[in-house]
Amino acid sequence: MKKILNDPAAVVAQSLLGLAAAHPDLLRVTTDPAVVSRADGPRPGKVAVVSGGGSGHEPLHGGFVGPGMLDAACPGAVFTSPTPDQIQAAVSRVDGGAGVLLLVKNYTGDVLNFETAAELLAADGVDVRTVLIDDDVAVRDSLYTAGRRGVGATVLVEKVVGAAAEAGADLATCERVARAAVAGARSMGIALTAPTVPHVGEPSFTLADDEMEVGIGIHGEPGRRRERLTDADGVVAALLEPVLADLPFAAGDEVLLFTNSMGGTPLLELYLAHGIAEQSLVDKGITVTRRLVGPYVTSLEMQGMSLTLLRLDDELTRLWDAPVRTAALRWGA
Amino acid sequence: MKKILNDPAAVVAQSLLGLAAAHPDLLRVTTDPAVVSRADGPRPGKVAVVSGGGSGHEPLHGGFVGPGMLDAACPGAVFTSPTPDQIQAAVSRVDGGAGVLLLVKNYTGDVLNFETAAELLAADGVDVRTVLIDDDVAVRDSLYTAGRRGVGATVLVEKVVGAAAEAGADLATCERVARAAVAGARSMGIALTAPTVPHVGEPSFTLADDEMEVGIGIHGEPGRRRERLTDADGVVAALLEPVLADLPFAAGDEVLLFTNSMGGTPLLELYLAHGIAEQSLVDKGITVTRRLVGPYVTSLEMQGMSLTLLRLDDELTRLWDAPVRTAALRWGA
């Protein structure tokens, strides 16, 4: 294992200290429990939007905390769900009395722990709702999931819901926006190499020099199939076709195209793939009106990429365009 | 070689098509010659700020084109200087008649080709000045350089000069700002793995599983020494101490700390290293007032990082804080 770290067991806490140091004006960070919250929270009368999940997917979720996006995030250990008390702590730090929306990627551990936290919060009188994100069309069920996994759409859902909450939407509206974004989003990913979890010390799997894993999860969990690594046209087609077929997306749709690096794939390759994906959508009569390109939902240093499509309407477009100020996503502010 | 690409010889042109597709409101892109320029340029009466260099360092330089930063960038082939006629084309696309400042990383090929372009432009009556960026303290001369190499400081110089030009500064002022930023910036980097140039197909060098290259260049060229990979504290010390000693930086200084991923090092590790670096500076009485953390000056998928310190005064701080809207760096706009 070649990594820049001290004690592998302390990697998340020590990384959070660096995140806090880098963004003192934006973030408040604690390591026990591990919570990243807005420096200006709680904000009375505002719906609090909270997410979290295993670490190793940075900038997800802590990099998306700030005005116009998340109020708080609770990072678990690498590829490990946050605990219920940690989720409670995150919520209590930003609860402004107008209700709390939990955005949860659909993995069994996350779902259970957020459910437990939601019950405890409800018992304390907090008006809490939960929306599951399940955009990955690659597999129906897996080692970590019942139903589809939550992957790239997470950043899109967090952005639009955060914008709604920032603009003063009530809890029911925020929940409706979240469900609309989840309903309109589909993703699929591919891996060329495996990630190495620091406390494990070995790659999560092995791929031959000429192989790719199609439908990879963001924890390095298996996808649909292994096959010979194709060229970029083949990779994009292998991702885009199942995504398009699933919703399905159709000619005339307006979409946001999110081309995501899993971490180790450089921008040179990522933009190349993005260009191919845009042209493919044009050819199918689908109009790309918004884009996001970069490493936003990663799997440590894994080489690979994912494509996410979000069907847009006027409301989602407006919420996407609204100002945001976070460590990883920022515009208009 | 495991990469997402079609024809390795066409990787830069095809990637530029994706960059153009991703940012239609911001960028105008041509592939022959390869030039990335502001969609809203040329701007009459404004100094044009132009940079460029080999590809493979994305988002440098095309990702920094836009209001408040570069007017144009000319990307060469991977790790290869842009040609004089390409540089001329970039300038002619954005020359607003108020002069042109060329920001050039100090590599022999870049220096020669930008010099030739500057002579040709001057012969055409363009008022053109050139500032070399040479912040890498690792080596004095190298395979690619006479003097220090230009690395991480490039993004900082491009930002502050771009802000000055955007605010209406004249050519002499832009040149002065660039020289001040170069004079106050020092960097050093480390590699854990090697990059693979697409048209070469093999890693640029090999490192044993327990080795790191201290003082690595951004083309995978050798640094000061190879040694056993240390923990993060050791890595940060190996980078920070030579950087501090070179200028030298001293107690009482206010600095911008730029913690840069070479591409393959994930944010989880990068923020961890950033936190250690900030604490080291605090311990030495140096005040970090601005930060940048992320993969901004990369070497394809190389795992590794660099630290850049820029000594700040009121003018550089104000220029750093000014609004910027580019693909890779954006705030206040």
| Number of inter-chain CB pairs under 8 A, A vs B | 193
Of A16, A22, A269, the CB nearest to B291: A22
Of B6, B63, B259, the CB nearest to A231: B6
CB contacts of A5 in chain B (<8 Å) are 231-232, 269, 272
Kindly determine whether residue B15 and residue A269, on different chains, have CB atoms separated by under 8 Å: yes
User: Could you read off the pLDDT of B223-281 as tens digits, one per residue?
Assistant: 899 999 999 999 999 999 999 999 999 999 999 999 999 999 999 999 999 999 999 99
pLDDT confidence tier of residue A221, bands split at 50, 70 and 90: confident
> What pLDDT sits at residue B105?
98
> What pLDDT sits at residue A141?
75
For A10-183, give the CATH class: alpha beta
DSSP string, B38-95: ETT---TTSPEEEEEEEESSTTTTGGGBSTTSBSEEEEEEETSPPPHHHHHHHHHHH-
Residues forming beta bridges with residue A306, ordered by sequence position: A189, A260
Q: Cα distance from B123 to chain A (closest Cα, Å)? A: 35
- The three-point CA angle A279-A314-A96 to 5° equals 120
User: Could you read off the pLDDT of B162-186 as tens digits, one per residue?
Assistant: 999 999 999 999 999 999 999 999 9
Average pLDDT, stretch A98-104? 98
> What pLDDT sits at residue B41?
82
Of A15, A272, A303, the CB nearest to B14: A272
Residue in B with minimal Cα distance to A332: B333
Rounded-to-integer distance, Cα B264 and Cα B196, Å:
12
Chain-centroid distance of CA B153 in Å reads 6
Average pLDDT, stretch A244-268? 98
> What pLDDT sits at residue A330?
97
3-state secondary structure of B288: strand
User: Could you read off the pLDDT of B109-166 as tens digits, one per residue?
Assistant: 999 999 999 999 999 999 999 999 999 999 887 777 789 999 999 999 999 999 999 9
CB contacts of B59 in chain A (<8 Å) are 267
Kindly determine whether residue B58 and residue A271, on different chains, have CB atoms separated by under 8 Å: yes
CB contacts of B21 in chain A (<8 Å) are 274-275, 278-279, 288, 291
ipTM: 0.98
Mutant choice from B64, B268, B283 vs A, greatest count of A C-beta within 10 A: B268
According to DSSP, the β-strands at B48-55 and B72-78 are parallel
Which ranges constitute the DSSP H helices of B219-266?
A: 232-246
pLDDT above 90 covers a percentage of chain A that reads 95
Residue in A with minimal Cα distance to B287: A21
Token pair for B277: 């670096």
Q: Is residue B87 scored above 90 in pLDDT?
A: yes
Mutant choice from A272, A279, A290 vs B, greatest count of B C-beta within 10 A: A272
| Catalytic residue list contains B57 | yes
> What pLDDT sits at residue A223?
85
Query: Which residues of A have a catalytic role annotated?
Result: 57, 219
Chain-centroid distance of CA A310 in Å reads 13
pLDDT above 70 covers a percentage of chain B that reads 100
Q: What CATH code is assigned to A185-320? A: 3.30.1180.20
Q: What is the average pLDDT score of chain B?
A: 97
Average pLDDT, stretch A66-95? 98
> What pLDDT sits at residue B222?
84
Range with the poorest average pLDDT among A30-39, A306-315, B79-88, B138-147: B138-147
Of A233, A274, A330, the CB nearest to B18: A274
Answer left, alpha or beta for residue B76, where phi above 0 means left and psi between -120 and 50 means alpha. Answer: beta
> What pLDDT sits at residue B102?
98
- B289/B41: higher pLDDT: B289
Residue in A with minimal Cα distance to B228: A2
pLDDT confidence tier of residue B72, bands split at 50, 70 and 90: very high
Residue in B with minimal Cα distance to A210: B2
Of A12, A233, A263, the CB nearest to B266: A263
Mutant choice from B65, B193, B267 vs A, greatest count of A C-beta within 10 A: B267
Q: Cα distance from B29 to chain A (closest Cα, Å)? A: 13
Q: Is residue A146 scored above 90 in pLDDT?
A: no
Q: What's chain A look like in SS3? A: CCCCCCCHHHHHHHHHHHHHHHCCCCEEEEECCEEEEECCCCCCCCCEEEEEEEECCCCCCHHHECCCCECEEEEEEECCCCCHHHHHHHHHHHCCCCCEEEEEECCHHHHHHHHHHHHHHHHCCCCEEEEEECCECCCCCECCECCCCCCCHHHHHHHHHHHHHHCCCCHHHHHHHHHHHHHCEEEEEEECCCCECCCCCCECCCCCCCEEEECCCCCCCCCCEEEECCCHHHHHHHHHHHHHHHCCCCCCCEEEEEEEECCCCCHHHHHHHHHHHHHHHHHCCCEEEEEEEECCCCCCCCCEEEEEEEECCHHHHHHHHCCEECCCCEECC
Positions of CATH 3.40.50.10440 in chain A? 10-183
Of B212, B232, B331, the CB nearest to A330: B331
Positions of CATH 3.30.1180.20 in chain A? 185-320
User: Could you read off the pLDDT of A169-217 as tens digits, one per residue?
Assistant: 999 999 999 999 999 999 999 999 999 999 999 999 999 999 999 999 9
Quick one: which of A149, A1, A41 has its CA closest to B229?
Answer: A1
Q: Cα distance from B155 to chain A (closest Cα, Å)? A: 16
> What pLDDT sits at residue A52?
98
Kindly determine whether residue B4 and residue A273, on different chains, have CB atoms separated by under 8 Å: yes
Q: Cα distance from B282 to chain A (closest Cα, Å)? A: 11
Kindly determine whether residue B58 and residue A267, on different chains, have CB atoms separated by under 8 Å: yes
| Catalytic residue list contains B199 | no
Kindly determine whether residue B232 and residue A263, on different chains, have CB atoms separated by under 8 Å: no
Residue in B with minimal Cα distance to A193: B2
Q: Is residue A142 scored above 80 in pLDDT?
A: no
Rounded-to-integer distance, Cα B265 and Cα B270, Å:
7
Residue in B with minimal Cα distance to A212: B2
Q: Is residue A333 scored above 90 in pLDDT?
A: no
Kindly determine whether residue A15 and residue B272, on different chains, have CB atoms separated by under 8 Å: yes
Which CATH fold would you assign to the domain B11-183?
Rossmann fold (3.40.50)
Q: Which of B23, B57, B61, B274 is catalytic?
A: B57
Q: What is the average pLDDT score of chain A?
A: 97
